[in-house]
Amino acid sequence: MSLPDRNFLMQLFRKVDRDGSGSINAHELQAALSNGTWTPFNPETVRMMIGMFDRDNSATIDFEEFLSLWKYIDDWQRCFKSFDRDNSGSIDRNELKLALTAFGKFLENREETSNKIKLELIRLPIERSIF
């Protein structure tokens, strides 16, 4: 699955960037995210998402960093959907076992399992998101 057109993503970025600063802060990102239950994302989850893609340590993400975040969210949505076999919108105990087994095999099959990879897997937000 490919990312949407850059022009579409730029328009979306500009809508999320409410103050017009050219970057998105945690408050702006939280306002733009939905976890499917009409409740706001946990502020710590939003800060972690920004921190994972904030290359210049500005506590914000610029457009290029936003593109990386978009791909990350898209990848995780597809991953979630692949384990949500009954399309319930949640992962039950059996689906979770399959997911953890698959992730374990993924890590076992990697030649280089660095501490960074392990840390990123631990830090991944559990919440689903839809812009």
pLDDT for 67-102, tens place per residue?
999 988 888 788 888 888 888 878 788 887 787 777
Predicted confidence band of residue 64 (pLDDT cuts 50, 70, 90): very high
Q: How far apart are CA 110 and CA 42, in angstroms?
A: 31
Contact 95, 85 (CB under 8 A): yes
Nearest by Cα to 118 from 96, 99, 97, 103: 103
What DSSP character marks residue 60?
A: S
